[in-house]
Amino acid sequence: MRTLITGGTLVGPLGAAPTDVLVDGETVAALLAPPAALGASARGAAGGGPAASGAGRPAVDADRVIDATGKYVIPGGVDVHTHMELPFGGTAASDTFATGSAAAAWGGTTTIVDFAVQRTGEVVEEGLAAWHAKAEGQCAIDYGFHMIMGGVDEAALKAMDSLVAHEGVTSFKLFMAYPGVFFSDDGQILRAMQRAADSGATIMMHAENGLAIDVLVAQALARGDTDPIHHGLTRPSALEGEATHRASVLAQVAGNPPLYFVHLSASEALGVVSAARAAGRNVFAETCPQYLYLSLEEHLGAPGFEGAKYVASPPLRTNTAPHADDLWRGLRTDDLAVVSTDHCPFCLKEQKELGRGDFSKIPNGIGTVEHRIDLIYQGVVTGKISLQRWVETCATTPARMFGLYPRKGVIAPGSDADIVVYDPNATTTISAATHHMNLDHSAWEGFEIAGKVDTVLSRGSVVVSGGQFSGRAGHGRYVPRGLSQYLR
């Protein structure tokens, strides 16, 4: 099938310009100069035929025409940090690959990169196989995997090389937090970084000083401080900054492998990343919408047990310090390269409630995979970032960072036809009553959004249009990834 998207403003890495997009099958066939006024012979969205030419342009034969007049045409979003079905704290993330990928599509995300898990004592390859089994035949959009390394030993180090060479898994996540679950000590981190320096793989780092945090948690509970807000108070931003600095130093000693800090939330950590990048190092970072908009006082400190909805790690930061302002500035300056979600949803009922009376037992995670494109577009509306930066941080840069570009993250001839038509003149309000995530609440309840996803194509197939979902489980394919394109 050939699809012509006409009348819209194409937004990409080089800026924005009126451009028509011709899709042939699953890929982009051509970018065409406007205008592309439809002639009488064009049969609209349900039919086909030649779309009449504009001045100086031959007629375009298309089976389907999508009118994007007054709208932006952008690459499908690439969310490189999701946790579908992740076991955590005696339960598991409430979104399956089927529900979570459909929700992502509703929000204009057409590729996710999820985290397969290896725990201490487990075999890396078996962990990857388990996540393939969870996702196969379930996803409405394309997907890839990172690998969580919960036990760095010689067998795991050899597996890193094998996954890079044969499985299209080129990024490995280590934890400086969660002792007894995922924690790696400095020696293990150094060995994994050395292996990554040899292969070109990316080390993704959860940078919080978990040993110190566990002391603070135990002390808080001993005092009777059990409410959700104490999750944030026992994980101070200084301990994220310290761990970020320590990981940066270890990477320098290991030979400068690409080091990518996940879910960066604090000014102190951002300062470390900025300094490393100024020194020419392979150091990168992402942030997430919750750290740009939500706060410890207003949300994590909500009355009663309401704050449990906002428990995630790192925690929401205080609004008495300029963390959020600094993060927005980091997005403008490229010290923060990517916005992802860390989508790891848990229902309040029967899941978050496991931590009533003990904040340390609240499953960590916030559901955002459906809202990232909208939430970051609000930065365009308020002048915090440009249109181009919106697309870069949500699509192009994550695709390049994790070996998916130019197949993903850009609208260009030969790229996958993952395309979003975005209406800047529409408005919507986020609510658990209308979202599509498998979640009984919304961390974004009542947020008013200027702009709305209008139409979504995944590899040329319309999966969202006119407020209707036409995607299907199993349409999404596993996408093996190459190395980061930002190596120095």
pLDDT digits (tens, 9 = 90+) for 58-70: 788 999 999 999 9
* For helices 154-162 and 124-135, angle between their N-to-C axes, nearest 10 degrees: 50
Q: What is the mean pLDDT of residues 227-232?
A: 98
Domain chopping of the chain, boundaries: 76-401
39 contacts 45 by C-beta, under 8 angstroms: no
Lowest mean pLDDT among 33-37, 58-62, 163-167, 330-334: 33-37
Give the pLDDT confidence of 248-259 residue by residue, as tens digits.
999 999 999 999
CA distances from 323 to 231, 254, 276, 328, 337 (A): 18, 30, 19, 9, 16
pLDDT for res 39: 43
Question: 192-220: b or e for each residue (b if 16 or more CB lie within 10 Å)?
Answer: bbbbbbebbbbbbbbbbbbebbbebbeeb
Query: Do you find a cis peptide bond into 424, omega within 30 degrees of 0?
Result: no
- Integer Cα distance of 403 and 479 in angstroms: 10
Q: Is the pLDDT of residue 150 over 50?
A: yes
311 pLDDT more than 50:
yes
Mean pLDDT of 216-239: 98
Residue 49: its pLDDT value, please? 52
Q: Sort strands 9-12 and 15-18 into parallel, antiparallel or unpaired.
A: antiparallel
Q: For position 326, what pLDDT does the model report?
A: 98
H-only helix segments in 255-320: 267-278, 289-293
- What is the pLDDT, as a whole number, of residue 100? 98
pLDDT of residue 90: 87
Residue 376 has pLDDT above 60, yes or no: yes
Q: How many Å apart are CA 176 and CA 87, to the nearest integer?
A: 19
Q: What pLDDT is stored for residue 47 in this prediction?
A: 42
CA distance 156 to 151: 7
pLDDT of residue 56: 56
Using the predicted structure, report yes or no on whether residue 143 has a pLDDT greater than 50.
Answer: yes
pTM of the model: 0.95
pLDDT by residue (tens digit) across 402-449?
A: 999 999 999 999 999 999 999 999 999 999 999 999 999 999 999 999
What 3-state class would DSSP assign to 420?
strand
Q: Residues 140-145: what's their mean pLDDT?
A: 98
pLDDT interval class at 385 (50, 70, 90): very high
DSSP-derived 3-state class of residue 395: helix
Averaged pLDDT for residues 182-204: 97
Closest alpha carbon to 257 in 274, 284, 282, 286 = 282
Partners of residue 272 on adjacent β-strands = none
| Distance between CA atoms of residues 402 and 448, nearest Å | 32
pLDDT the model gives residue 43: 37
DSSP H or E segment with residue 2:
strand 2-6
- Integer-rounded Cα Rg, in Å, for the chain is 22
Task: State which fold the 76-401 domain adopts.
Answer: TIM Barrel (3.20.20)
CB burial of residue 440 (10 Å; 0-12, 13-18, 19+): middle
Residue with the two structure tokens 């403008």: 332
Residue owning tokens 């780092």? 205
Q: What is the identity of the amino acid at 104?
A: A
Question: Taking the CA of residue 270 as centre, how many other CA atoms within 13 Å lie in the half-sphere pointing to its CB?
Answer: 24
pLDDT reported for residue 267: 98
Query: What mean pLDDT do residues 303-307 have?
Result: 96
Residue 487 has pLDDT above 90, yes or no: no
Residue percentage of the chain with pLDDT more than 90: 92
Name the band, by pLDDT with cuts 50, 70 and 90, for residue 51: low
pLDDT value at position 35?
63
| CA end-to-end span of the chain | 41
pLDDT at 38: 43
Residue 337 has pLDDT above 60, yes or no: yes
Q: Given this model, what pLDDT does residue 34 score? A: 87
Average pLDDT across the chain, whole number = 95
